[in-house]
Amino acid sequence: MRDSQATVRTLLTRAAAATLLALAAIPGAHAQQPKLKVGLMLPATGTFATVGTAISNGFRLAVAEQGGKFAGREIEFFTVDDESDPAKAPENANKLVKRDQVDVLVGTVHSGVAMGMAKVARDNNTLLIIPNAGADEITGPLCAPNIFRTSFTNWQPGYATGKMVAERKHRTVVTLAWKYAAGEQSVAGFKEAFEAGGGKVIKELTLPFPNVEFQPFLTEIAALKPDAVYVFFSGGGAVKFVKDYAAAGLKASIPLYAAGFLTDGTLEAQGDAAQGIMTVLHYADALDNPRNRTFRAAYNKAYKMDPDVFAVQGYDAAQLLDAGVTAVRGDMSRRADLVKAMETARIDSPRGPFVLSKAHNPVQDMYVRRVEGTDNKVIGIAIKGLADPARGCRL
Amino acid sequence: MDPVTFLIQSLNGLQYGLLLFLVASGLTLVFGIMGVVNLAHGSFYMIGAYLAFSLSALTGSFFGAVALGIVLSVVFGLLLEWALFSRLYHRDHLDQVLLTYGLILIFEELRSLAVGDDVHSVAMPDFLSASIPLTDTLSYPVYRLFMSGICIVLAMSMYVVIQRTRLGMRIRAGTSNREMAQGLGIDIRLLFRFVFAFGVALAALGGMLAAPVSSVFPGMGSQVLILCFVVVVIGGIGSVWGALLAALLIGFTDTFGKVLFPDYAGLSVYVLMAAILLWRPAGLFGRA
Amino acid sequence: MKHSPPWLLLGLAALALAAFPLLGQAFYVELLAKVMIFAIFAMSLQLLAGVAGLVSLGHAAWFGIAAYTLVLMAPKYHPANLWITLPAAVLAAAAAAFVVGLLVLRTRGIYFIMVTLAFAQMFYFVFHDTGLGGGSDGVYLNFKPEARIAGHLLFDLGNSTHFFYVSLGAMAAVFLLLAAIRRSPFGHALDGMRANEQRMRALGFPVMRYQLAAFTLAGGLAGLAGYLAACQFGFVNPELLAWHESGNVLLMVILGGLGQLHGAILGAFAFALLQEGFASVTRHWQLPMGVVIVALVLFLPGGLASIAARLRRPRS
């Protein structure tokens, strides 16, 4: 009866392992550690719903890879749909912080909502990890010891694109973006690097978010005849802009550059119109490193779909939390040590390893990507280890 | 602005105005003839766009999708009128506002359940996907011209139907005096049912035609709804001509507003409306 | 129709509300405060839609204008003075309502609904497109306003318990004010105009002036609600003025019962309850909400406040 012997042995091993684990947990004075409460505040409805799902999936994948536990503490999720509505942000964040009393707040996509969350996190001194929203202020004037971000600042891809476009010997550029923080900050980053590189932004066109009637602006661009165009759009607006730009015949005469969101998760819808467009981002689906390959395989296995940059950011948010929680052995009351560990963590991300800046924003490589088929092919690195200047941060 | 750019921008304004007319004309008919406030009109535009998306994937042809979509939306309109709107004629406007507001929520969620919240694009027919070069840098997409052409044809056929046919006579009679028309033996209930279905189909057709250039996305209905209201307010309730003129005015105001004073472009349309209200409270072609 | 509200029940409900913070549920204290703010907002619309018979679909404009007034007036690094900012915000909302009222009251019925909607949308774009209020991103209120009397801090709006009682007091005050107005000659005149505008005109009432007064007052009271909302959220964005907000507040009025002042309060609470309830079951909470609205229109035209009457007097 080798089989049953084997079973008995496994059982014994497991029992021993369990005892060991229980013993290991004793220093916390409890035989059974309480669950670690994670509040996921992400959009489940509306325009950003798919982004919210990707982040949640990424986060949960990283947790599952650790057996559902960080430092022996089982992770318990509390979720709130933030609806991408900044007006409801304080209330929604309070639901998690005050009602559910979570140990850490994770979210969100929309910058305005994230600003509201940052406010609640500061007021209650709750640990906050932002897995997407790129508002410069969060790791700028509003930076705080308890606020972290695993994505980017709007400035980062904009600045890197500006440098790249200047290096490609374009002298004049017209910019076009939605008139909201993300668009304005991205264009500001672009302009800073592009003009430092000797170029000149001859006109900054804007349209209200989330307007998508581009035709008058395309006519304007055609009349101005710049060397190149820089835009900031994402999601549905990105799909439409790229198609309109090609349909207006501008693609053939004036090269288009953008922060990577223009061609991320949108290529299937953009089709031929997107071919050859160069963008800059801190990730690319087709990024060729072993870490990315295993991550993509695991994600695909778990969710039966391909991950995107947002899933990576969610995954890294969980990795960052794990680094902190493990360092304090699950004792969240040791806040200073927890923060210290997170600040100094080297996150082994699918985008390539990164560390955090003083303001708690990733210092990361910005990849130059070119659209080929339905892939953003990495063709180089615009800037290695780019850190946001974190203007106004006093950490 | 040089003359060539000015002309092209005018073309943009014209094209935008015509599309707006297509959607708003259905609304003004339903308002004028049936006296029903329909907030869900924008949803019909949204439903049309999503029909174009789903059906063109199903049939493999854009025009097949449009044909099938029109049939479906007429049937949908008939059903809606029969099940819900026919109960509203004798209610006050408040109930109408509320019921149609409830419908918006229902339609948005059903859309989310059925198709999800992703943005989708709809392929335009190959032979319309070309562009005509206008200047050395700018070309004009043929599809946009085609869309404008359809809108013009529809506007003209609506004119013929309303002014020159028996059906049109009944519609005009129903608009100006419902009770009298009923007294003269016109089956108002049937007329209403078909006018409503026609209004739904017009909005849906607007959505289907716009789908290839605007892509389909959640919330696309409510953007259009408010603009349609402005069109109806400026043009005068029930007036198809008023709607055409108002839609074109809005198209031009918006297009040039965007380029000339971008910060106030969103506002310009409403300032126009306020000015016209001050001058003619019942709209350009409305009866006080 | 009997207009006298059930005073005893209302008094008991107010007492129950006043005792609520003693339970110490911080989150629900804040939630209730929010609902009471919306009750004020709904009562202001009740005056317009239920009493004067003017169905506005742009009421959120006044709410939002007052909210923006507070945030734009507030100093960046220290708290604003409540005694200055509150009247200013309410006046700004009332003034805007007055000007718009001059235009929209020239129209009736469907037109009135659409035109109020369109004007609200215009204000939405004022804050959304121009540089006035931070565009679509909105603006944060860094410090809650202070109410000091002779240097002493009367109450602190940053404290959620204080804020709760301020909201409760404001709600009660607005209720009493509107109840008094209903019983005044002005209120009776508005009632008459709702019932038959032509006759009131024939009787020599300056209909337009009365309606303009009601429109302005309703705007100012909506502004009070907006001011409190801006204090509570600490944030304003153009969505406060969006037509969905106008739709929701109209829904509260109808849900509670058109024409009944306490119906507006009931409606605000019922709306919040439905929203929280559905949202906890499904992320597609708007679907059951929509179904409830449609069913309400078809089967319960008098709103919740009519249920009691229906029970008392079965349909003849």
- B119/A236 CB distance under 8 A: yes
Give me the DSSP letters along A52-114: HHHHHHHHHHHHHHTTTEETTEEEEEEEEE-TT-GGGHHHHHHIIIIIS--SEEE--SSHHHH
Per-residue pLDDT of chain B (288 residues; tens, 9 = 90+): 788 889 999 999 999 999 999 999 989 888 888 888 889 999 999 999 999 999 998 998 999 999 999 999 999 999 999 999 988 888 888 888 889 999 999 999 999 889 887 778 788 888 888 888 888 888 898 999 999 999 999 999 988 988 888 888 887 787 777 777 777 777 888 888 998 999 999 999 999 999 988 778 887 888 889 899 999 989 988 888 899 999 999 999 999 988 888 778 888 899 898 889 888 888 898 765
Q: How confident is the model at residue A23 (pLDDT cuts 50, 70, 90)?
A: very low
Distances (CA, A) of B99 to A199, B103, C67, C243, C244: 56, 6, 29, 15, 14
Number of structural domains in chain C: 1
Asked if the structure places residue C116 within a domain, the reply is yes
Across the interface, which of C114, C294, C296 has its CB nearest the CB of B229? Answer: C114
The mean pLDDT value for C227-240 works out to 90
B3-279, CATH topology level: ABC transporter involved in vitamin B12 uptake, BtuC (1.10.3470)
Distance CA C67, CA C72 (A): 9
Chain A hits for B145, Cβ within 8 Å: none
A313 Cβ contact partners less than 8 Å away, ≥ 6 residues apart: A55, A58, A131, A132, A150, A151
Asked if the structure places residue C181 within a domain, the reply is yes
**Containing H/E element for B57?**
helix B41-59
Asked if the structure places residue C3 within a domain, the reply is no
User: Which one has a higher pLDDT value, A131 or B277?
Assistant: A131
Q: A172-178 and A228-232 as β-strands: parallel, antiparallel, unpaired? A: parallel
Q: Which of B248, B284, B273 is nearest to B155 (CA)?
A: B248
Distances (CA, A) of B204 to A182, B19, B48, B75, B152: 33, 12, 4, 12, 17
Q: Which of A110, A57, A100, A58 is nearest to A80 (CA)?
A: A100
Q: Which residues make beta-bridge pairs with A102?
A: none
Asked if the structure places residue C196 within a domain, the reply is yes
C-beta pairs of C283-287 under 8 Å, 24+ apart in sequence? C283/A44, C283/A45, C283/A81, C284/A45, C284/B109, C284/B112, C284/B113, C286/B105, C286/B106, C286/B108, C286/B109, C287/B105, C287/B106, C287/B109, C287/B110, C287/B113
Chain A hits for B17, Cβ within 8 Å: none
pLDDT at C61: 97
Q: Among A29-38, C39-48, C252-261, which range has the highest average pLDDT?
A: C39-48
Distance CA C8, CA B99 (A): 33
pLDDT at A255 over 90: yes
Task: Using CB atoms within 10 Å of the CB of residue B166, give its burial: 0 to 12 exposed, 13 to 18 middle, 19+ buried.
Answer: exposed
In the complex, which subunits touch B with 3 or more CB pairs below 8 angstroms? A, C
Dihedral angle, C-alpha B231, B236, B237, B239, nearest 10 ° = -90
Looking at the complex, does the CB of residue A274 fall below 8 Å from at least one CB of chain B? no
pLDDT at C316: 41
Distance CA B54, CA C154 (A): 61
Residue with tokens 């992320």: C283
- A99/C240 CB distance under 8 A: no
ipTM over cut 0.90: no
- B137/A236 CB distance under 8 A: no
Q: How many CB atoms lie within 10 A of CB B106?
A: 20
- C27/A44 CB distance under 8 A: no
Whether the model pTM is above 0.80: yes
Q: Which of B63, B23, B32, B53 is nearest to B201 (CA)?
A: B23
Looking at the complex, does the CB of residue A42 fall below 8 Å from at least one CB of chain B? no
One-letter amino acid of A68: G
B25 Cβ contact partners less than 8 Å away, ≥ 6 residues apart: B154, B155, B158, B202, B240, B243, B244
Q: How confident is the model at residue A16 (pLDDT cuts 50, 70, 90)?
A: low
pLDDT at A172: 97
Quote the percentage of chain A above a pLDDT of 70: 92
Mean pLDDT of chain C: 89
pLDDT at A2 over 50: no
Q: What is the per-residue pLDDT across C31-49, written as a single tens digit (0 to 9) for each? A: 899 999 999 999 999 999 9
- Which of helix, strand or coil describes residue A13? helix
| A218-248 exposure pattern, b = at least 16 Cβ within 10 A, e = fewer | bbbbbbbebbbbbbbbbbbbbbbbbbbbbbb
Distance CA C120, CA A134 (A): 31
Give me the DSSP letters along B213-248: HH-B-TTHHHHHHHHHHHHHHHH-TT-HHHHHHHHH
How many angstroms separate the CA of residue C78 from the nearest CA in chain B?
A: 31
Q: Which of A256, A253, A323, A315 is nearest to A283 (CA)?
A: A315
Q: What is the per-residue pLDDT across C5-39, written as a single tens digit (0 to 9) for each? A: 788 888 888 888 888 888 878 888 988 999 999 99
Distance CA A107, CA A59 (A): 11
Instruction: Choose the mutation target among A40, A45, A213 for the interface with C, i.e. most C CBs under 10 Å.
Output: A45
How many angstroms separate the CA of residue C97 from the nearest CA in chain B?
A: 14
Q: Which of A280, A332, A306 is nearest to A152 (CA)?
A: A280
Domains of chain A: 33-152+288-360 (3.40.50.2300), 155-281+369-386 (3.40.50.2300)
Asked if the structure places residue C248 within a domain, the reply is no
Sorted by where each begins, the domain ranges of chain B are 3-279
Residues 92-151 of A with CB under 8 A from C: 94-95, 98-99, 111-112, 115-116, 119
In the complex, which subunits touch C with 3 or more CB pairs below 8 angstroms? A, B
Across the interface, which of C125, C235, C240 has its CB nearest the CB of A90? Answer: C235
Q: C139-140 and C235-236 as β-strands: parallel, antiparallel, unpaired? A: antiparallel
